[in-house]
């Protein structure tokens, strides 16, 4: 069975994931690859409905455990309905956030018990893991300024700076624990420079032709 590649993008707020996904998708398509771009929370009709609930500033009293389950519910549906079918067709899936976001935000950020976050997360995706994760890393302060300039702040953007610092530190820790899969990309630079680094890393993955872990 032909198998594609599953590439995820992670980072704190304002790290430029959407811009980089767009650039990479365009380049891969130009080289003849079949590409699917998608995001979490979201990516399916059901997931996009959950996304609205999760990001609405009206839901500022959402309990962190309720929040965890909503992210995971969105992910399970997304995996089954979009990601796995695309990988089975040999496509390259570029996904804006996946399981590492839950470990970073709900585990390190919200300080939910890591063992439980990890176990529930693994269950939600049946242990599926990306082939490659690009962690766009930049100072929290810089990212939050970018978000503010964009104008529309959601429920998470409004969190205290310390929360975002814990998330960033969490992501960097996850990268140290998963050196083979998670590559740190310095994201404070111009988008074109960041995109070139990403292209180099992705080319290496595609040349190795290591199949999706599904």
User: In the bound complex, what is the minimum distance in angstroms from residue 13's beta carbon to ligand TMP?
Assistant: 6
102 lies in the binding site for ligand TMP (CB under 6 A): yes
101 lies in the binding site for ligand TMP (CB under 6 A): yes
Question: What is the sign, positive or negative, of the torsion defined by CA atoms of 201, 43, 121, 209?
Answer: negative
Q: Which two tokens stand for residue 13?
A: 């707020």
User: 13 vs 131, which CB is nearer to ligand TMP?
Assistant: 13
The count of residues interacting with ligand TMP (CB under 6 A) is 12
20 lies in the binding site for ligand TMP (CB under 6 A): no
91 lies in the binding site for ligand TMP (CB under 6 A): no
> 170, exposed or middle or buried, with CB in 10 Å at 0-12, 13-18, 19+?
buried
- Strand partners of residue 7: 94, 132
Q: What are phi and psi of 75, to 5 degrees?
A: -70, -45
Binding residue (CB under 6 A) for ligand TMP from 91, 97, 168, 183: 97
User: In the bound complex, what is the minimum distance in angstroms from residue 146's beta carbon to ligand TMP?
Assistant: 12
133 lies in the binding site for ligand TMP (CB under 6 A): no
Which among 86-94, 96-104, 128-136, 203-211 is the span making contact with ligand TMP, rule CB under 6 A? 96-104
36, 86 Cβ separation under 8 angstroms:
yes
User: 35 vs 95, which CB is nearer to ligand TMP?
Assistant: 95
Cα–Cα distance for residue pair 44/198, rounded to 1 Å = 26
Give the dihedral of Cα atoms 17, 22, 24, 29; nearest 10 deg: 160
Which among 20-28, 36-44, 126-134, 202-210 is the span making contact with ligand TMP, rule CB under 6 A? 36-44
Measure the CA angle with vertex 8, ends 204 and 150; round to 5°.
120
**DSSP-derived 3-state class of residue 95:** strand
156 lies in the binding site for ligand TMP (CB under 6 A): yes
User: 5 vs 71, which CB is nearer to ligand TMP?
Assistant: 71
User: In the bound complex, what is the minimum distance in angstroms from residue 80's beta carbon to ligand TMP?
Assistant: 16
Cα–Cα distance for residue pair 186/197, rounded to 1 Å = 9
71 lies in the binding site for ligand TMP (CB under 6 A): yes
Which residues are at the interface with ligand TMP (CB under 6 A)?
Answer: 13, 39-41, 71, 96-97, 101-102, 105-106, 156
């Amino acid at each position: 069975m032909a198998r594609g590649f599953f590439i995820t993008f992670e980072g704190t707020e304002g790290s430029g994931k959407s811009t980089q996904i767009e650039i990479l998708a365009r380049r891969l398509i130009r080289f003849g690859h079949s590409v699917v771009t998608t995001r979490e929370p979201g990516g399916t009709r059901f997931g996009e409905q959950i996304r609205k609930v999760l990001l609405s500033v009206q839901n500022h009293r959402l309990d962190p455990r309720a929040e965890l389950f909503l992210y995971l519910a969105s992910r399970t549906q997304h995996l089954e309905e979009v990601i796995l079918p695309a990988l089975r067709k040999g496509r390259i899936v570029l996904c804006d956030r996946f399981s590492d976001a839950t470990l970073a935000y709900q585990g390190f950020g919200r300080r939910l018990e890591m063992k439980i976050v990890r176990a529930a997360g693994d269950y939600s995706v049946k242990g599926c893991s990306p082939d490659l994760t690009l962690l766009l890393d930049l100072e929290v302060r810089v990212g939050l300024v970018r978000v503010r300039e964009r104008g529309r702040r959601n429920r998470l953007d409004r969190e205290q700076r310390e929360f975002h610092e814990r998330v960033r530190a969490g992501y960097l820790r996850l990268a140290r624990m998963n050196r083979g899969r998670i590559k740190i990309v310095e994201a404070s630079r111009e988008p074109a420079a960041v995109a070139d680094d990403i292209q180099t890393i992705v080319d290496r993955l595609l040349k190795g032709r290591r199949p999706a872990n599904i």
